[in-house]
Amino acid sequence: MEGMIRKDNSGWWDGSVGYEIYVRSFADSDGDGVGDLPGITGKLEYLSWLGVDLVWITPFYPSPMADFGYDVSDYCGVDPLFGTLEDFDQLITEAHRQDLRVIIDLVPNHSSSAHPWFQSSRSSVDDKYRGYYHWRDPSSDGKPPNNWVSHFGGSAWTLDEESEQYYLHLFLPEQPDLNWNNPEVINEFDEIIQFWLSRDVDGFRIDVAQGLVKNMLMPDNPIRFQINESMSPRQVFASFDHRYDLDQAGNLEIFRRWRNLVDPHDALLLGEVYLRDNDPNRVSRYVSSGDALHRAFYFAPMHVPWDPQSMWDTFRDALDAAPEDLSWALSSHDDPRAPTRFGGGEEGKQRALAYSVLLFFLPGLPVIFQGDELGLPSIELALEELADPVATRNAVETDGRDGARTPIPWNSSSGFGFTHGTPWIPIGNRSEKDTVEYQQKTHGSWLMRYRTLLQIRKDNLDLDSPLRWITARDSDVISFSRGGLISALNVGGSGQILSLPNGQWELAFHVGEVALNDRSVAFGENSAAILILAS
């Protein structure tokens, strides 16, 4: 922007690899079947051994758990299910002792309907907290105020019969959206952020960062595709052009305000900027000014098919829009795990590891979802075992997220070392070969290979070297160099040959069939390699 002095988005997170912990399913310390904060503390040594630098912990705040913690009833506490504030402090202390940074989920788009703010808000149209949320009269025909829909199915409006007004929720009815046009809401979150900074957190992963501000006139969103009853909630949501409920310009002003709060603490702002069209130019707005978010998750890589052209378009366009400041995830708690997404079985696992060779060496911040390093596929659950409200509350449950959220198998004991009680959700058909204990002592396991890959990254990646594409968009091999390192991935349906730049290159890591010749590399299907320039 003309006249603007670009601030630096760099910090201790440069060169880091993140690790997402879905707290319910990571490690249970007390046998109630639910993962908790002391469970995480007990596994920090494992994360340090794996080679990650940054741990992101999903919400652990007091909550009715309608959406498993993303419905917050107290932003400055710990739910007893997960421990205490003292347990949190101990986790931070131990993580820092092991040179691990910790960022926590901030959920500012919505609170729980059980939050005292909302309880007070719905008590009277004149209540001082009424303006903390979006309350509107029905339309002239008595229906919701507009055509906005929830991510999780149905209208984004629920009628409060007492006041005869509707309140807005882009997710569950138990998750009313906060009104970020209200200065009081802004002030409340200033205090929340400062509360956690005073407890030495290293930053925040901001949930629904694209959704905070709404167009207060609240017109109907344009419809892009015809909607029918066979559509899942995700398909219905994608059928609208979210022109007025998402990605409003005012979001950046909030993040600039937060930047001033976190910068003195050297803390990271990592935004979940989940835009349905995955337009990298829109995502890049959240980081490109250099004074808003430090990093923005770019989600297209978690949905791209195993196809050269699709991958080229995804990565070239993203890096053109934001060359340094994106964050890449292989999997997450909201989507199918990478091995499942890439076809399942051994082929799916190999593709996921090969894909990591690409993701982990791009500029930006790569993040592993717990279990990625074990090559875990998603679990298939029976209908009666489903817990995710997206699945249980909709006739079409295909968007359910349970399969990616099942507990981590630590060892082959009862409960797979996750718990000595009954897991909150079935662990599924995991085997001994899926466990951390087995893979740690097995040469060539997925875990040992991921650990090796992270070590190569730490030892050889020159952060100051720009990315230079070696292959072009018409190639089945996606390859780039950064200084004296080459990353290459064969996404084609047959073997490929990659010609190497001048120099003496050594094969440092490979997935699948890879053969290094004098000036070229031969790739089999679903293969990838890291090459290092000999000194």
Tens of pLDDT, residues 298-346 = 988 999 999 999 999 999 999 998 888 999 999 999 999 999 999 999 9
pLDDT digits (tens, 9 = 90+) for 333-374: 999 999 999 999 999 999 999 999 999 999 999 999 999 999
Show which residues are catalytic.
207, 272
Q: What angle do CA 280, 282, 191 make, to 5 degrees?
A: 115
Which pLDDT does position 7 carry in this prediction?
A: 57
Give all strands of the β-sheet with 157-160 in edge-to-edge order: 135-136, 165-168, 157-160
What one-character DSSP code corresponds to residue 212? S
Going across the sheet that includes 505-511, the strands are 467-469, 477-482, 485-490, 527-533, 505-511
Amino acid (1-letter code) at residue 475:
S
Q: Taking the domains of the chain in order of start, what are their residue ranges?
A: 18-110+182-214+238-381+419-456, 465-533
Name the band, by pLDDT with cuts 50, 70 and 90, for residue 276.
low
Query: pLDDT band at 498, cuts 50/70/90?
Result: very high
The Cα–Cα gap between 484 and 309 comes to 26
Count other Cβ atoms within 10 Å, centred on residue 30.
14
Mean pLDDT of 506-527: 96
- Give the containing element (helix H, strand E) for 251: helix 250-262
Give residue 1's pLDDT band: very low, low, confident or very high (50, 70, 90).
Answer: very low
Chain centre distance of CA 484: 30
Which class in CATH covers the domain with range 465-533?
mainly beta
Contact 110, 178 (CB under 8 A): yes
Q: What is the Rg, in whole angstroms, of the alpha carbon atoms belonging to the chain?
A: 23
Parallel, antiparallel or unpaired: strands 496-499 and 485-490: unpaired
Q: Would you state the structure tokens that stand for residue 170, as one six-digit string?
A: 């882009």
- Total-model pTM: 0.96
Q: Which three-class secondary structure state does DSSP give residue 355?
A: helix
Closest by alpha carbon to 276, among 233, 305, 311, 308?
233
Query: pLDDT tens-digit profile of 242-267?
Result: 999 999 999 999 999 999 999 999 99
Cβ atoms of 318 and 326 within 8 Å: the answer is: yes
Which residue is listed with tokens 């359910």?
400
Asked whether 269 and 297 are in contact (CB, 8 A), the reply is no
The per-residue pLDDT for range 189-201, each reduced to its tens digit, is 999 999 999 999 9
Residue in this structure with the two tokens 């079985």, named with its chain if needed? 345
Topology (CATH) of 18-110+182-214+238-381+419-456? TIM Barrel (3.20.20)
Q: Helices 280-288 and 308-321 sit at what angle, rounded to 10 degrees? A: 30
Strands (E) in 131-251, as ranges, are 135-136, 157-160, 165-168, 203-206
- Are the beta carbons of 315 and 291 closer than 8 angstroms? no
Q: In whole angstroms, what is the distance from residue 532 CA to residue 487 CA? A: 9
